[in-house]
Structure 1
């Protein structure tokens, strides 16, 4: 027994010695500053429940380019606009790929979707299809009737609850689901509990940390915790659902010209000179649904939260919308272009509450020199959009305050030309559905403040200051947003 203990302690001592020797060697190789890390797990223990906040705090000490290690994987954390510009403009091609994780592989058709596909021919082909046929300005305009119909339905629900507390979080989530379902799949599925539960499982798993992806010898933890079984079951259920949707379109069961129809037409005609197979169709439609619902719902929920917390901003927005619409009960999309304060509210909400505070990870495809630092191939890159939105050098000393006025005289936008505001990413991997998401956000918020006066209920004063965040990939409110709506008509 004594001999076994001596051997065990010797092994631990030897492994620890090698670990710290390797750390010292790495420091001499001119890599970015790193917080101290533990053997085997690296810096994983420092992520906390809200990684975007934890990483922002670490960056204040170690710099806007900071090197962490998640298990055996080197991870470069980018926390400033200038650093993001160096990574995603100066070296955009080098960092244009995506890491291969167990979660992406299982849930996203082995990365055949647009968001997580590795950089290369397939990704370029799918991006060209999406940009030209799914998210073109013509396609976005073609679904105007869908947006208006669903918004009107939501307005009527609120009107029937006038002067009573309404669950705005639930209404906005239902609206975005219904719009994206009709646009992408051809009809609504929000009334089907199986579908709702399936989407909730998917969202939860995409935000769950996979131990085995970063510490292979601890992969058994994913199995013991049930994570592997959940991945398998959810992937199977998702595929069965989307296979049924695609087959219904193939059979011609009365669908309109939605995204599935568009992709199937391209598949039949081979109009792009390459083949789009069934897996690619399902993967891209799944991508559209996940990205389209979460981004829009999260933005609108946080925008209404901040407006209710800042009545002076809400009043200013109402005055602008009602002046431009001139007593019309519904705000049409053509009125939106003249609403400068509305656009400022959208920008300020994206700045404070980016739906994905840590954008989808990038991965370097080759060794590169970045600001005189050596970054090896295979390094994952996390862009902390939440931290970038709070840079005092860009936004001033009141970065934690909701103040839409800061955008009225600013040219900074979120459509990929500026690195100070990047809720949709930037560079080659920027989300192609920006216009699709933003037009829905704008017209919904304009209608909400035009038709109703809003206030927080007296008996729920905690809601006025409670901005607690959920956990996961996308960051919602932890608790639903309730408010009282009084109809103006």
Structure 2
């Protein structure tokens, strides 16, 4: 007779064997290589720390190939860094929904365009598209110019300070631009303006930790680990800030006042949907929350990373300076028009190359809502989580050549981006059905900002490119932020 403990032990062994066999079955039938991992854990133990994730993904991809399969606990997931597979995923109607890790975004930022599920996503995207039309974006140019002129005056004080961390300054600056262009209100004079920026970063840190450590979704776990107090305070402060802006806009939106304003500014669009009963107040708050965070954070980091890389590679900095100087011979403030941005050809190369080696969002997650057939004929079943590894695809030597891991704007010269490059080999804003709604906004604003900053100042750093360590975050992060030394140009 087997004792109760022996029965339990036998069942436990059989369960482990079942899980192991199930994983082997997936690997054999799907014909996607990858590490099986341990029972219960899968590969989760390798991905506990943010600073390990990109490195571990790189090791798996180098060992097993550009598309692999593994497990996070009991959940099967695919990592894709092959452009054709990525295109299959991003253009499939069965892969529109974001992965389960974005539940953390729902908790921290609300349910908006970034994380909302289809078919609600399709409805919201169609309703909000007018806020990012070309005409509306052109109407923001005076704001981009005016605010960057004020930033120049702040930069005037920096040459005497030696090497300086520009990111906090740029984040406050881009938050000021974002609230004006998306919410229609200038809030820089608000008493808690700096605190709001800090609250967004507190939320971002906790959201990223929740993505990696699902147990942090439980409030009591966050309380035990000492995270809940600041996280709750930050969410509450952001919500109060947004509610104040929304209520102010609703109070001002009389019929006469709307006629004198552009109805397609983001907050006008959402409050109009509220009045028509299409959105409720939570929809307005959630969509506003996500668009404000997405715009200010990615813009600030993109601008900084371009300046940082040009400081590390001064030969390219001088080339882009000469181009901008040919358009704007005199230093100081000047108006940048949309036509001017179209003539900044070399700056385009520099920005693209910066987003190649340091993609704004390094990893993007999707999940299959139905069986997905890849171009190769492989079928990924319903319910599989997919991680699109933009970081390693952008740095693949098979795609970008032997110098793929260093910075060289020539990678985007016409003869280097011709027929040999897959159209999905470079996707800083993703592509396909669920591409970033704000990519044109980012492109125009970044060009205006950089044109003025690069015309008026030069940048140096003692930090070496090869010493950069990248950390997975909702937006990519550096373990150590290089400080830049700034000099005034004439």
Q: Same fold (TM over 0.5)?
A: yes
The counterpart of 2:82, out of the listed 63, 80, 83, is: 80
Whether contact under 8 Å (1:31, 1:375) holds in the other structure is: no
C-alpha distance in 1 between matches for 2:54 and 2:98: 19
Instruction: Output the TM-score relative to the length of structure 2.
Output: 0.87
Q: What SS is found at the alignment partner of 1:429? A: coil
Q: Structure 2 matches for 1:464-475, cutoff 5 A?
A: 466-475=467-476
Whether contact under 8 Å (2:90, 2:434) holds in the other structure is: no
C-alpha distance in 2 between matches for 1:228 and 1:171: 27
Whether contact under 8 Å (2:178, 2:292) holds in the other structure is: yes
- Specify the alignment match of 2:329 in structure 1: 326
Q: Do residues 137 (structure 1) and 134 (structure 2) align?
A: yes
Q: What SS is found at the alignment partner of 2:478? A: coil
Whether contact under 8 Å (1:358, 1:385) holds in the other structure is: yes
Q: What SS is found at the alignment partner of 1:485? A: strand
* Structure 1 residues 403-430: Cα deviation after superposition (integer angstroms, max 9, x where no partner): 10121225859xxx92011111111110
- Specify the alignment match of 1:62 in structure 2: 64
Q: Do residues 284 (structure 1) and 287 (structure 2) align?
A: yes
Q: Do residues 313 (structure 1) and 316 (structure 2) align?
A: yes
Q: What SS is found at the alignment partner of 1:446? A: helix
- Deviation of 1:308 (Å): 0.6
Whether contact under 8 Å (1:56, 1:387) holds in the other structure is: yes
- Deviation of 1:437 (Å): 0.6
C-alpha distance in 2 between matches for 1:412 and 1:381: 27
C-alpha distance in 2 between matches for 1:436 and 1:341: 19
* Structure 1 residues 331-362: Cα deviation after superposition (integer angstroms, max 9, x where no partner): 51332211211000001001000011002x11
- Deviation of 1:393 (Å): 2.7
Q: CA RMSD in A?
A: 3.0
C-alpha distance in 2 between matches for 1:203 and 1:187: 23
C-alpha distance in 1 between matches for 2:371 and 2:186: 47
- Deviation of 1:364 (Å): 0.9
Change (3 A) 1:53 1:191: farther
Q: Structure 2 matches for 1:397-436, cutoff 5 A?
A: 397-410=402-415, 412=417, 418-436=423-441
Which shows bigger deviation, 137-146 or 3-12?
Answer: 3-12
Q: What SS is found at the alignment partner of 2:93? A: coil
Q: What SS is found at the alignment partner of 1:76? A: strand
Where does the alignment leave 5 or more consecutive residues of structure 2 unmatched? none
* Structure 1 residues 263-292: Cα deviation after superposition (integer angstroms, max 9, x where no partner): 213433x4xxx7122111111111111211
Whether contact under 8 Å (1:40, 1:72) holds in the other structure is: yes
Whether contact under 8 Å (1:77, 1:383) holds in the other structure is: yes
Q: What SS is found at the alignment partner of 2:126? A: helix
Whether contact under 8 Å (1:368, 1:374) holds in the other structure is: yes
- Deviation of 1:484 (Å): 2.6
C-alpha distance in 1 between matches for 2:385 and 2:465: 38
- Specify the alignment match of 2:152 in structure 1: 155
Q: What SS is found at the alignment partner of 1:382? A: strand
Change (3 A) 1:87 1:259: closer
C-alpha distance in 2 between matches for 1:93 and 1:380: 15
C-alpha distance in 2 between matches for 1:52 and 1:93: 28
Q: Do residues 365 (structure 1) and 364 (structure 2) align?
A: no
C-alpha distance in 1 between matches for 2:417 and 2:227: 41
C-alpha distance in 1 between matches for 2:10 and 2:229: 37
- Deviation of 1:293 (Å): 1.5
Instruction: Output the TM-score relative to the length of structure 1.
Output: 0.87
Whether contact under 8 Å (1:67, 1:76) holds in the other structure is: yes
Which shows bigger deviation, 398-407 or 248-257?
Answer: 248-257
- Specify the alignment match of 1:105 in structure 2: 106
- Specify the alignment match of 1:13 in structure 2: 13
- Deviation of 1:12 (Å): 4.0
Q: Do residues 259 (structure 1) and 258 (structure 2) align?
A: no
Q: What SS is found at the alignment partner of 1:141? A: helix
- Deviation of 1:108 (Å): 3.4
Change (3 A) 1:24 1:81: closer
* Structure 1 residues 417-452: Cα deviation after superposition (integer angstroms, max 9, x where no partner): 920111111111100111101111112122111112
Q: Do residues 380 (structure 1) and 381 (structure 2) align?
A: no
* Structure 1 residues 299-323: Cα deviation after superposition (integer angstroms, max 9, x where no partner): 1111111111111111111111112
C-alpha distance in 1 between matches for 2:484 and 2:28: 56
Q: Do residues 46 (structure 1) and 46 (structure 2) align?
A: yes
Which shows bigger deviation, 243-252 or 431-440?
Answer: 243-252
Q: Structure 2 matches for 1:467-486, cutoff 5 A?
A: 467-486=468-487
Whether contact under 8 Å (1:169, 1:301) holds in the other structure is: yes
- Deviation of 1:214 (Å): 8.2
Change (3 A) 1:57 1:161: same
- Specify the alignment match of 2:240 in structure 1: 240
